[in-house]
Structure 1
Amino acid sequence: MSEAKAVFESMLARFDADEADDMEAVFQFDLDDDSNYHLSINEGKCAMAEGEHDDPTVTLSMDLDTLKDVMSGELDGMAAFMQGKIRADGDIMLATKLTQIFPQ
């Protein structure tokens, strides 16, 4: 299993359906140094798939280390964005909810 896939598997394991209650969204992750993945949230469920989604709600571009640091809580997502470590396209406000939907 790729390192990126392992990160997304761990995110799925801690998905908080209550936080994502009325959410219908697709988070596209474009990783500079690994495969691209997307997480689809709909009706309180989350599904992961490899590759590009046709119509993501928000696209987040970063390297794998940045993703790991943000999802482990070592790096604040907003700080990473401000430092240029994360590039976002689409519904950027949705991206700020990522750590609430996938809490530590």
Structure 2
Amino acid sequence: MSALELLHKLPLAINLQSTAGVDRTIQFNISQPAYVVIRNGACEVTEGSAENADLSLKMSDDDLVSLLTGKLDGMAAMMTGKLKLQGDMALAAQLGRYFDAGKLQ
């Protein structure tokens, strides 16, 4: 499955309890950029670039697939340069709680 296809599956993996009251936009800078809007337990994926993303992630497609499916640890990816973040680092730290990686396999 491609990175973009996996991003489009994120609404199926959203953790409703963890995202209640959340209103954030996350930009994924991969070969085909896309952004995710998380708003009050809902998740919408749009291809392209967000005007005002709270957080931007830049990484290879393969690394994003590994990250989203739980095969790559986000902190390890940052430390090894596989993941570059810009924006709200507190949001980055919480992303793992917003989605159930098991539903993306």
Gaps of 5+ in 2: none
Q: Which amino acid aligns with 1:46?
A: C
Output the CA distance in 2 between the equivalents of 1:93 and 1:82: 17
1:35 to 32, 36, 49: 32
What residue in structure 2 maps to residue 22 of structure 1? 21
Q: Percent identity?
A: 28
- Would you say how many aligned residue pairs link Structure 1 and Structure 2? 101
Q: Give the 5 Å matches for 1:1-104.
A: 3-31=2-30, 34-104=31-101
Q: TM-score, normalised by structure 2?
A: 0.89
TM value normalised by structure 1: 0.90
* Structure with the higher fraction of residues in helix conformation: 2
Structure 1 counterpart of 2:41, one-letter code? G
Q: Deviations over 1:5-40 (max 9, x none)?
A: 211122221111211112110010001xx2100000
Counterpart CA distance in 1 for 2:42 and 2:12 is 11
Shift, 1:71, TM fit:
0.8
In structure 2, C-alpha distance between the alignment counterparts of 1:91 and 1:44, rounded to whole Å: 19
